Structure 1
Protein backbone atom coordinates (compact mmCIF):
# COMPACT_ATOMS: atom_id res chain seq x y z
CA UNK A 1 0.00 0.00 0.00
CA UNK A 2 1.22 3.51 -0.84
CA UNK A 3 -0.14 6.82 0.42
CA UNK A 4 0.53 10.00 -1.48
CA UNK A 5 0.87 13.17 0.60
CA UNK A 6 0.51 16.43 -1.29
CA UNK A 7 1.47 19.78 0.21
CA UNK A 8 0.10 22.73 -1.73
CA UNK A 9 1.04 26.35 -1.64
CA UNK A 10 -2.20 27.99 -2.67
CA UNK A 11 -3.40 31.51 -3.38
CA UNK A 12 -5.36 32.38 -0.23
CA UNK A 13 -7.60 34.67 -2.29
CA UNK A 14 -8.54 31.69 -4.50
CA UNK A 15 -9.55 29.32 -1.69
CA UNK A 16 -12.99 28.61 -3.18
CA UNK A 17 -11.36 27.69 -6.49
CA UNK A 18 -8.98 25.35 -4.69
CA UNK A 19 -11.93 23.84 -2.81
CA UNK A 20 -13.61 23.11 -6.18
CA UNK A 21 -10.37 21.62 -7.51
CA UNK A 22 -10.20 19.33 -4.47
CA UNK A 23 -13.81 18.18 -4.85
CA UNK A 24 -13.09 17.17 -8.42
CA UNK A 25 -9.97 15.18 -7.55
CA UNK A 26 -11.54 13.31 -4.65
CA UNK A 27 -14.06 11.79 -7.07
CA UNK A 28 -11.44 11.21 -9.77
CA UNK A 29 -8.96 9.40 -7.52
CA UNK A 30 -11.73 7.13 -6.27
CA UNK A 31 -12.93 6.46 -9.82
CA UNK A 32 -9.40 5.29 -10.68
CA UNK A 33 -9.28 2.85 -7.76
CA UNK A 34 -7.67 4.94 -5.04
CA UNK A 35 -8.99 5.86 -1.62
CA UNK A 36 -8.98 9.60 -1.06
CA UNK A 37 -8.57 10.69 2.56
CA UNK A 38 -9.53 14.28 1.86
CA UNK A 39 -8.14 17.73 1.35
CA UNK A 40 -7.11 19.70 4.40
CA UNK A 41 -7.61 23.42 3.90
CA UNK A 42 -6.29 26.37 5.90
CA UNK A 43 -8.23 27.12 9.04
CA UNK A 44 -5.86 28.83 11.44
CA UNK A 45 -2.20 29.58 10.98
CA UNK A 46 -0.80 29.68 7.45
CA UNK A 47 -3.49 30.77 5.01
CA UNK A 48 -1.65 29.60 1.91
CA UNK A 49 -0.96 25.96 2.74
CA UNK A 50 -3.21 22.95 2.11
CA UNK A 51 -2.73 19.18 2.09
CA UNK A 52 -4.23 16.08 0.50
CA UNK A 53 -3.80 12.37 1.20
CA UNK A 54 -4.84 9.43 -0.94
CA UNK A 55 -3.90 5.76 -1.05
CA UNK A 56 -3.46 3.13 -3.75
CA UNK A 57 -2.91 -0.58 -3.20
CA UNK A 58 0.62 -0.34 -4.66
CA UNK A 59 3.04 1.98 -6.39
CA UNK A 60 2.20 0.17 -9.65
CA UNK A 61 -1.51 0.98 -9.16
CA UNK A 62 -0.61 4.61 -8.55
CA UNK A 63 1.51 4.65 -11.73
CA UNK A 64 -1.45 3.25 -13.72
CA UNK A 65 -3.66 5.99 -12.27
CA UNK A 66 -1.14 8.65 -13.34
CA UNK A 67 -0.98 7.24 -16.88
CA UNK A 68 -4.76 7.01 -17.16
CA UNK A 69 -5.30 10.46 -15.63
CA UNK A 70 -2.95 12.00 -18.20
CA UNK A 71 -5.45 11.23 -20.98
CA UNK A 72 -8.78 11.28 -19.12
CA UNK A 73 -11.00 14.23 -20.16
CA UNK A 74 -12.25 14.94 -16.61
CA UNK A 75 -8.71 14.88 -15.22
CA UNK A 76 -7.48 17.15 -17.97
CA UNK A 77 -10.34 19.53 -17.21
CA UNK A 78 -9.40 19.57 -13.51
CA UNK A 79 -5.79 20.40 -14.43
CA UNK A 80 -7.01 23.14 -16.76
CA UNK A 81 -9.25 24.56 -14.03
CA UNK A 82 -6.28 24.87 -11.64
CA UNK A 83 -4.16 26.53 -14.32
CA UNK A 84 -6.85 29.00 -15.33
CA UNK A 85 -7.79 29.98 -11.78
CA UNK A 86 -4.17 29.98 -10.56
CA UNK A 87 -5.38 28.65 -7.22
CA UNK A 88 -2.22 26.52 -6.85
CA UNK A 89 1.16 28.22 -6.77
CA UNK A 90 3.20 25.05 -6.30
CA UNK A 91 2.97 21.60 -4.76
CA UNK A 92 5.16 18.85 -3.33
CA UNK A 93 4.45 15.12 -3.52
CA UNK A 94 5.64 12.51 -1.03
CA UNK A 95 5.16 8.76 -1.05
CA UNK A 96 4.49 7.16 2.32
CA UNK A 97 3.90 3.64 3.62
CA UNK A 98 1.06 3.73 6.14
CA UNK A 99 1.16 1.85 9.43
CA UNK A 100 -2.18 0.97 10.99
CA UNK A 101 -2.83 -0.16 14.55
CA UNK A 102 -3.89 -3.66 13.43
CA UNK A 103 -0.49 -4.08 11.74
CA UNK A 104 1.39 -3.09 14.89
CA UNK A 105 -0.60 -5.70 16.89
CA UNK A 106 0.22 -8.36 14.28
CA UNK A 107 3.90 -7.44 14.39
CA UNK A 108 3.95 -7.58 18.19
CA UNK A 109 2.29 -11.02 18.16
CA UNK A 110 4.78 -12.52 15.69
CA UNK A 111 7.96 -10.84 16.91
CA UNK A 112 7.28 -10.56 20.63
CA UNK A 113 7.82 -6.77 20.53
Structure 2
Protein backbone atom coordinates (compact mmCIF):
# COMPACT_ATOMS: atom_id res chain seq x y z
CA UNK A 1 0.00 0.00 0.00
CA UNK A 2 1.08 3.57 -0.68
CA UNK A 3 -0.37 6.58 1.09
CA UNK A 4 -0.10 10.08 -0.30
CA UNK A 5 0.21 12.88 2.23
CA UNK A 6 -0.54 16.36 0.91
CA UNK A 7 0.27 19.52 2.81
CA UNK A 8 -1.47 22.60 1.43
CA UNK A 9 -0.79 26.24 2.01
CA UNK A 10 -4.22 27.74 1.46
CA UNK A 11 -5.75 31.18 1.34
CA UNK A 12 -7.75 31.40 4.59
CA UNK A 13 -10.13 33.85 2.90
CA UNK A 14 -10.94 31.12 0.36
CA UNK A 15 -11.60 28.30 2.82
CA UNK A 16 -15.08 27.63 1.40
CA UNK A 17 -13.56 27.16 -2.07
CA UNK A 18 -10.90 24.82 -0.68
CA UNK A 19 -13.57 22.80 1.12
CA UNK A 20 -15.45 22.37 -2.17
CA UNK A 21 -12.19 21.33 -3.86
CA UNK A 22 -11.59 18.75 -1.13
CA UNK A 23 -15.10 17.33 -1.31
CA UNK A 24 -14.66 16.78 -5.04
CA UNK A 25 -11.32 15.00 -4.65
CA UNK A 26 -12.58 12.68 -1.92
CA UNK A 27 -15.19 11.38 -4.35
CA UNK A 28 -12.78 11.30 -7.30
CA UNK A 29 -9.98 9.41 -5.55
CA UNK A 30 -12.45 6.81 -4.33
CA UNK A 31 -13.92 6.51 -7.84
CA UNK A 32 -10.43 5.83 -9.22
CA UNK A 33 -9.89 2.92 -6.82
CA UNK A 34 -8.16 4.71 -3.96
CA UNK A 35 -9.24 5.20 -0.39
CA UNK A 36 -9.46 8.81 0.67
CA UNK A 37 -8.83 9.33 4.38
CA UNK A 38 -10.06 12.91 4.34
CA UNK A 39 -9.02 16.52 4.36
CA UNK A 40 -7.91 18.11 7.60
CA UNK A 41 -8.61 21.83 7.77
CA UNK A 42 -7.24 24.57 10.01
CA UNK A 43 -8.83 24.88 13.42
CA UNK A 44 -6.45 26.06 16.13
CA UNK A 45 -2.98 27.25 15.24
CA UNK A 46 -2.00 27.97 11.63
CA UNK A 47 -4.93 29.33 9.63
CA UNK A 48 -3.38 28.62 6.23
CA UNK A 49 -2.29 24.96 6.43
CA UNK A 50 -4.45 21.97 5.51
CA UNK A 51 -3.68 18.29 4.94
CA UNK A 52 -5.09 15.37 2.97
CA UNK A 53 -4.33 11.65 3.02
CA UNK A 54 -5.32 8.99 0.54
CA UNK A 55 -4.08 5.51 -0.29
CA UNK A 56 -3.81 3.15 -3.23
CA UNK A 57 -3.03 -0.56 -3.03
CA UNK A 58 0.32 -0.02 -4.77
CA UNK A 59 2.40 2.53 -6.69
CA UNK A 60 1.25 1.21 -10.08
CA UNK A 61 -2.40 1.90 -9.24
CA UNK A 62 -1.52 5.35 -7.98
CA UNK A 63 0.32 6.09 -11.23
CA UNK A 64 -2.70 4.87 -13.23
CA UNK A 65 -4.90 7.25 -11.20
CA UNK A 66 -2.53 10.13 -11.99
CA UNK A 67 -2.59 9.32 -15.71
CA UNK A 68 -6.35 8.80 -15.88
CA UNK A 69 -7.17 11.87 -13.79
CA UNK A 70 -5.20 14.08 -16.18
CA UNK A 71 -7.89 13.61 -18.83
CA UNK A 72 -10.99 13.05 -16.68
CA UNK A 73 -13.51 15.93 -17.06
CA UNK A 74 -14.51 15.96 -13.37
CA UNK A 75 -10.87 16.04 -12.29
CA UNK A 76 -10.20 18.88 -14.70
CA UNK A 77 -13.14 20.79 -13.20
CA UNK A 78 -11.66 20.34 -9.72
CA UNK A 79 -8.25 21.58 -10.91
CA UNK A 80 -9.95 24.55 -12.56
CA UNK A 81 -11.80 25.40 -9.35
CA UNK A 82 -8.47 25.68 -7.51
CA UNK A 83 -6.90 27.71 -10.34
CA UNK A 84 -9.85 30.06 -10.67
CA UNK A 85 -10.34 30.72 -6.95
CA UNK A 86 -6.64 30.60 -6.01
CA UNK A 87 -7.62 28.82 -2.81
CA UNK A 88 -4.35 26.85 -2.92
CA UNK A 89 -1.12 28.82 -2.76
CA UNK A 90 1.17 25.80 -2.85
CA UNK A 91 1.29 22.15 -1.88
CA UNK A 92 3.78 19.43 -1.00
CA UNK A 93 3.29 15.75 -1.79
CA UNK A 94 4.87 12.90 0.18
CA UNK A 95 4.60 9.16 -0.30
CA UNK A 96 4.32 7.03 2.81
CA UNK A 97 3.92 3.39 3.63
CA UNK A 98 2.16 2.04 6.71
CA UNK A 99 4.14 0.19 9.34
CA UNK A 100 3.08 -3.43 9.53
CA UNK A 101 2.90 -4.19 13.27
CA UNK A 102 3.82 -7.82 12.63
CA UNK A 103 6.47 -8.35 9.96
CA UNK A 104 5.97 -11.36 7.73
CA UNK A 105 8.64 -14.03 7.44
CA UNK A 106 10.40 -14.16 4.08
TM over 0.5: yes
- The runs of at least 4 aligned residues of structure 1 exceeding 4 Å deviation read none
Residue 17 of structure 2 corresponds to 17
Gaps of 5+ in 1: none
Deviation, structure 1 residue 53: 0.1
Residue 78 of structure 2 corresponds to 78
Deviation, structure 1 residue 98: 1.0
What TM-score, normalized by structure 2, do the two folds share?
0.96
Q: Check if 1:63 corresponds to 2:67.
A: no
- Backbone CA RMSD of aligned residues: 1.1
Bigger radius of gyration: 1
Q: How does 1:1-113 map to 2 (within 5 A)?
A: 1-99=1-99, 103-104=100-101, 106-107=102-103
What TM-score, normalized by structure 1, do the two folds share?
0.90
Residue-by-residue CA offset, 1:45-65 (whole Å, 9 max, x unaligned): 000000000000001100000
2-structure distance, mates of 1:88, 1:98 = 27
Residue-by-residue CA offset, 1:32-81 (whole Å, 9 max, x unaligned): 00000000000000000000000000011000000000000000000000
More helix by share: 1
